[in-house]
Amino acid sequence: MAEFRIAIIGAGPAGYFAAQALQSAEIDGKKFAIDMIEKLPTPWGLVRSGVAPDHPKIKSVSKVFEKIATQEGFRLIGNVELGRDISLKELEEMYDGVIIATGSTVGRKLGIPGEELANSISAADFVPWYNAHPEYKNLEVDFSDQVAVVIGAGNVAIDVARMLALNPKELDLTDTAQYALDKLHNSAIREVHLFGRRGAEHAAFTSPELRELPKLEYTDVFIDEGEISAAQQRASSAGEIPKDIKANLEAMAAIATADKKGVDRKLSLHFLSTPLEIKGEGRVEEIIFSLNEVKDGQVVPTGKTKSIKCGLVISAIGYRCLEMPGLIYESGKIKNTDGRIGASNTYVVGWAKRGPSGVIGTNKSDSSEVIKLLISNLTTPKNSQDILEILSSRNITYISQKGWEQINNAEISAGEALGKPRVKITDLQEMLGFAG
Ligand SMILES: Cc1cc2nc3c(=O)[nH]c(=O)nc-3n(C[C@H](O)[C@H](O)[C@H](O)COP(=O)(O)OP(=O)(O)OC[C@H]3O[C@@H](n4cnc5c(N)ncnc54)[C@H](O)[C@@H]3O)c2cc1C
């Protein structure tokens, strides 16, 4: 019997962990042949274009990905986009199993008047901009006002607020896009306000992200102490406080009571505030919030409002999938049952399956479960055309693992000269040049 051939679409954590699960399995003594198809010339998904540049340790998971990529039977096929260069139907005909791991890339909308004003930006665009994603490098963002507002109470909101509030010299030795670093060095922003709709006890932050805030060297971080003790009371009145909420509230109480440095850069966290409207003549000038309270466990408006004059609003309230033809979507995710799409041999993993939740490691167990299901549904291997022949017949330049390694080496050596982990290339032609 020939080997089974599996296509994985998307070279982010979920895709690599799916490949890893396949690599540790075999059928009748035969390993799987794995083709990982990625739309960019560079792999690693959000580990490259999402994780904050000042969190380099988290990016070291890429070493695991590179180990997976150099196993026998694995091919990276970069610069090839599902839906543009090849269709799902074609892949389903060619492979014994198809795994969609394309993530969740579109920012959810606030749905309020003024959201379309200039300098009202989604974190889904802002984050890849500072992380040198080629599709976002031309984003227009203006840092000329002293005050910026971030909406959301999750780790992405904290990342964005921290990136705006820290002293950019703390980013000089990171892989932040050079154009973003230049802009941040000239930024007039000195006050960043983060707003969550519900109470502090409902925030989706994780406590390590909170605990690092008071350690920022050039920024004072503020939370109203009364707001946290009220949240603690509300949480404990409902019984024993769950461990993660307790840790979050303790981290927030530590921020509230920490000595302040008296520096001019300030980051403030606020809760129980729903954005109602962004105002301005052509661009963001002010944002209005409804103030909420918690009554019988429900978040309800108090009828009071609050206005903040600001020049930039970034919303970080979640992501949904970019829709591709041939797939059904439900609540921003690809419709599936335990990862399987309908009765086909096409599966979905990662954020495209679960939505934007969990840390990088969450994708490992998730992908592994879906691979078990995929394997259980395999019958006889197909003997069909190699995708590389189809790509060549369409004059599509794809990037192999070797080509990516050449891009990777070029970025790392450009970084070495400057004491940075890498200098990311943002120009597609330049990437293709390095990939040979
Ligand atoms: C701003 C931000 C910061 C984060 N920080 C952390 C952190 O510090 N620690 C942590 O543990 N987790 C963090 N996460 C969460 C983590 O990044 C996700 O859990 C993880 O990346 C999800 O993996 P994925 O493979 O599903 O999606 P992704 O990482 O998004 O990968 C999807 C891949 O598919 C490719 N793709 C998309 N469409 C196509 C197509 N049509 N054809 C071919 N390829 C395609 C994309 O280019 C991408 O490479 C963060 C997330 C965000 C948004």
Boundary residue ending a domain (278, 302, 319): 319
* Pocket flag, ligand 1, residue 79 (CB < 6 Å): no
Contact call for residues 87 and 345 (beta carbons, < 8 A): no
Q: Whose CA is nearest to atom 30 of ligand 1?
A: 103
* Pocket flag, ligand 1, residue 188 (CB < 6 Å): no
Whether 24 is in a domain gets the answer: yes
Counting from 1 in the atom list of ligand 1, the atom nearest the Cα of 81 is: 42
* Pocket flag, ligand 1, residue 15 (CB < 6 Å): yes
The CA 15 to ligand 1 mean position distance, Å, reads: 10
Whether 150 is in a domain gets the answer: yes
Check whether residue 160 and residue 179 sit in a common domain.
yes
CATH code of the domain covering residue 329: 3.40.50.720
Does the pTM exceed 0.85? Answer: yes
Q: Residue 79, class by beta-carbon neighbours within 10 Å (0-12 exposed, 13-18 middle, 19+ buried)? A: buried
pLDDT at 1: 67
Whether 413 is in a domain gets the answer: no
Whether 415 is in a domain gets the answer: no
Element (H, E) at 319: strand 319-320
Q: Give me the residues of the chain with pLDDT under 70, please.
A: 1
The CA 46 to ligand 1 mean position distance, Å, reads: 3
Whether 203 is in a domain gets the answer: yes
Phi/psi of residue 196, each to 5°? -110, 145
* Pocket flag, ligand 1, residue 50 (CB < 6 Å): yes
* Pocket flag, ligand 1, residue 220 (CB < 6 Å): no
pLDDT at 18: 98
**For a pocket test of ligand 1, which of 9, 17, 46 has the largest count of ligand atoms closer than 8 A to its C-beta?**
46
CATH code of the domain covering residue 149: 3.50.50.60
Contact call for residues 215 and 261 (beta carbons, < 8 A): no
* Pocket flag, ligand 1, residue 348 (CB < 6 Å): no
How many domains does one find in the chain? 2
Whether 137 is in a domain gets the answer: yes
Check whether residue 93 and residue 115 sit in a common domain.
no
Residue 313 DSSP SS3: strand
Whether 434 is in a domain gets the answer: no
Check whether residue 168 and residue 58 sit in a common domain.
no
Check whether residue 125 and residue 101 sit in a common domain.
no
The CA 319 to ligand 1 mean position distance, Å, reads: 11
* Pocket flag, ligand 1, residue 38 (CB < 6 Å): yes
* Pocket flag, ligand 1, residue 333 (CB < 6 Å): no
* Pocket flag, ligand 1, residue 351 (CB < 6 Å): yes
The backbone region for 30, taken as left when phi is positive above 0, alpha when psi lies in -120 to 50, beta otherwise, is beta
Q: Copy the structure tokens of residue 57.
A: 């340790």
Q: CA 351: distance to chain centroid? A: 9
Residues 6+ apart with CB under 8 A from 414: 422, 423
* Pocket flag, ligand 1, residue 318 (CB < 6 Å): no
**Domain of 369, in residue numbers:** 5-105+321-399
Q: Whose CA is nearest to atom 6 of ligand 1?
A: 51
Check whether residue 194 and residue 284 sit in a common domain.
yes
* Pocket flag, ligand 1, residue 208 (CB < 6 Å): no
- Per DSSP, 287 falls in state E
Average pLDDT, the chain: 97
Check whether residue 204 and residue 74 sit in a common domain.
no
Check whether residue 217 and residue 68 sit in a common domain.
no
Boundary residue ending a domain (292, 319, 346): 319
Check whether residue 197 and residue 93 sit in a common domain.
no
Question: Cα separation of 171 and 181, whole Å?
Answer: 7
Check whether residue 98 and residue 115 sit in a common domain.
no
The CA 339 to ligand 1 mean position distance, Å, reads: 17
Check whether residue 325 and residue 312 sit in a common domain.
no
pLDDT at 9: 98
* Pocket flag, ligand 1, residue 78 (CB < 6 Å): no
* Pocket flag, ligand 1, residue 75 (CB < 6 Å): no
* Pocket flag, ligand 1, residue 97 (CB < 6 Å): no
* Pocket flag, ligand 1, residue 415 (CB < 6 Å): no
Contact call for residues 142 and 260 (beta carbons, < 8 A): no
Per the listing, tokens 């993660």 go with 244
Check whether residue 157 and residue 241 sit in a common domain.
yes
pLDDT at 384: 87
Phi/psi of residue 219, each to 5°? -135, 135
Q: Whose CA is nearest to atom 13 of ligand 1?
A: 359
Boundary residue ending a domain (271, 293, 319): 319
Distance linking the first and last C-alpha atoms of the chain = 36
Check whether residue 264 and residue 328 sit in a common domain.
no
Whether 117 is in a domain gets the answer: yes
* pLDDT per residue as tens digits for the range 265-314: 999 999 999 999 999 999 999 999 999 999 988 999 999 999 999 999 99
Q: Whose CA is nearest to atom 39 of ligand 1?
A: 102
